[in-house]
Amino acid sequence: MRGLSGVDLRRVHEHVAFMANRKLLSYSIAIIIANIISALFLIFFFYAGPASSIWSSIPLGFSIFIYKILISIQASRVGRELNTGEVQIYLAHTLTRTEYLLSALLVVGITPALVLVATYLTFLAIAAPLSYDVGSQLPYLFAELMMHATIVMALAIGGHENAASIVGVMLALFIGAIMGIPLFLLILFGSNKPAFYVAYAATLLVAMATPLTYRFTYGTIISSPLHSPATLPDPLLVLLLSTAAFIILWIVFFIRFKRRDL
């Protein structure tokens, strides 16, 4: 079955299944752990009451960390195939370049993001009567995982597959601390226009890499009576820019891969 641009969707599906099966155990463990964490914190959520939105953020944070590690591993594997020439085996017998990279996009980014979003749809269905905040997190969750996949894929296909794994893990662990630096400078230099604009741009850039984490941080900061929300990038703007960024970057990946000498 062929889709747009002559892409054989059947071959894409088969290669996605092949790539995913190589990490089937990792996928299974990630899904099981995410579901266990969700179930435990869902219980606490009911006892804490609807005012405690933190109970919806804590399990998301743990699950996102697990899935970001999985994404980093998959991206590193794709980068290794490209940089060692292993990809030529697939291209010589079954796949076109477009079909291969589309498979990589599905396995590295879209599939893990959709699986985690689907996991939290159950959480949403149960908790939605108590808190609207859970459902509004899902677009940010998808964008955050896709941006992480885009960053590590950029490193992996650029010949730095080992760095992709390391950077992926570091971003998963310390993105909150990394975001805190430009946020602190943004608040500190709120009255100094040149420094404020630099800090604002840095905050926006980091926030685009992790829109869900930024959304939670934004809510925490503006709840303080000492700070005005007008000085911080709006989370919806961050979400839109983040979505546009990973779409544009994956288009660039496709164009460069089509022209790349293997």
Residue 51's pLDDT is what? Answer: 45
End-to-end Cα, the chain, rounded Å: 27
Residue spans of the domains in the chain: they are 4-259
Residue 8 three-state SS? strand
pTM: 0.82
Q: pLDDT by residue (tens digit) across 131-160?
A: 556 667 889 989 999 999 999 988 888 878
Q: Choose among 50, 71, 166: nearest CA to 116.
A: 71
Query: Pick the residue with more confidence: 136 or 213?
Result: 213
The Cα 165–Cα 53 span in angstroms is 32
